[in-house]
Amino acid sequence: MKNIMKTDDTLYIKILVWAYRKQEAGFTWGDLEKEFNLNTAQLNWVQKVFRSNMPASENLIDHLSYNEKCQ
């Protein structure tokens, strides 16, 4: 169990650093999956940790959409 925790902790930190570096450029959920080559178990874990059912203001990673008006 210690190895799993260490792997999860490492993945957690790597994702936080990666997302922080993206800043205003942003990223899609697909970008994250591709960048970290997540298997099914990891994907489920990442979704639980970063996209829980908490209010949007408390999620670490959330869906944002921007609408541009054509003038």
For residues 50 and 60, is the Cβ–Cβ distance under 8 A? yes
Which of the two residues, 1 and 34, has the higher pLDDT score?
34
Query: Is the model's pLDDT at 68 over the cut of 60?
Result: no
CA distance 16 to 12: 6
In percent, how much of the chain has pLDDT > 70? 59
pTM (two decimals): 0.63
Chain segment 22-40, per-residue pLDDT in tens: 888 888 888 999 999 999 9
pLDDT in tens, 2-13: 555 565 568 989
| Residue 71: predicted pLDDT | 46
Alpha carbons 23 and 12: distance in angstroms, whole number: 17
